[in-house]
Amino acid sequence: MSDDDGSTGGGARIEAVELSRRFGPHRALDGVSLCIEPGETFGLLGANGAGKTTFIRLVTGYLIPSAGRVSVDSFSPVTQPDEVHALLGYVPETTQLYPELRVESFLRFAGGVRGLAGPDLDRAVERALGRFGLEGMARRLVGNLSKGYQQRVSLAQAFLHEPRLVIVDEPTSGLDPLQQAEVRGVLAALRGRRTVLLCTHDLAEARELTSRVAVLRRGRLVRLGPTAEVLGGDDPYALFRDDDPSAESEAGAAP
């Protein structure tokens, strides 16, 4: 996979202020405040049910906050969803592809949904095929690809419109070691060029790719800071357990 994307750099800024979301009596996200700076690769960590997916859905505008606010480059996903969607690409944990389409046809469809057409669409698809090593798969049915290649297609569709923010949910889940290394290489090449919000259970992946991380537990922010500091203790997995007495008191201590 090529990491030469021709982008000029930058990235979008995410700001969340006392962001909360309830589902009936359950508070899935509880007063989370944090900023993700342009060009930063930021890790969102936590056990299942910690609130990671809820945070992502609030950033993308799929959900509306129960309280607080979130913005992407000062645009609100609630009141300015078109502006926000133009800035972001999203790679879900479970690939959402059309198995009956050929790879090139799927990418052309995805590009059209994002408003690309004519020569711009042609160039975007050609660039995506090359960037993710899919030239030889362009005429293959998506449903006949290995899981590794399907993940490449999922990544490719997120980059078609050259987004300033890329949200990636468990990008290497289920991939073999070589495929994991390839995907991580692509994400590592984005440092400083785009903002990457990486949601992962893999602490080694977070250490390799991110500069800062936030740890959520039961919807609350329990740690925020440089990756090496947050995950550098003797037992970093304690941050994810309910019996860790120090995590919540340290949430605001790290820069």
pLDDT digits (tens, 9 = 90+) for 32-88: 999 999 999 999 999 888 999 999 999 999 999 999 999 999 999 999 999 999 999
What is the separation, in whole angstroms, between the first and last Cα of the chain? 35
84 within domain boundaries: yes
Bridge partner residues of 14 (DSSP): 36, 72
* Weakest mean pLDDT among 94-98, 133-137, 229-233: 94-98
Contact 127, 6 (CB under 8 A): yes
Measuring CA to CA, which residue among 247, 220, 252, 250 is closest to residue 236? 247
CB atoms within 10 A of CB 1: 15
26: Cα within 13 Å, side-chain hemisphere: 8
175 within domain boundaries: yes
* Count of the separate structural domains present in the chain: 1
Q: How confident is the model at residue 9 (pLDDT cuts 50, 70, 90)?
A: low
Contact 167, 90 (CB under 8 A): yes
Q: Check residues 46 and 186 and name the one with the higher pLDDT.
A: 46
255 within domain boundaries: no
pLDDT at site 1: 62
122 within domain boundaries: yes
Residue 248: is its pLDDT beyond 50? no
Task: Annotate 150-217 with DSSP letters as a single string.
Answer: HHHHHHHHHHTT--SEEEEESTTTT--HHHHHHHHHHHHTTTTTSEEEEE-S-HHHHHHH-SEEEEEE
73 within domain boundaries: yes
What is the residue range of 95's domain? 14-250
pLDDT at site 193: 85
In the predicted model, what is the mean pLDDT of the chain? 88
**Alpha carbon of 11 to those of 19, 98, 116, 170, 229: distances in Å?**
22, 29, 20, 21, 24
Q: How confident is the model at residue 8 (pLDDT cuts 50, 70, 90)?
A: very low
Q: How far apart are CA 213 and CA 225, in angstroms?
A: 6
Q: How far apart are CA 91 and CA 190, in angstroms?
A: 15
208 within domain boundaries: yes
Q: Check residues 183 and 6 and name the one with the higher pLDDT.
A: 183
CB atoms within 10 A of CB 104: 18
Cα angle 113-37-216, degrees, rounded to a multiple of 5: 90
Cα angle 87-254-224, degrees, rounded to a multiple of 5: 45
Q: How confident is the model at residue 2 (pLDDT cuts 50, 70, 90)?
A: low
CATH number for the domain spanning 189: value is 3.40.50.300
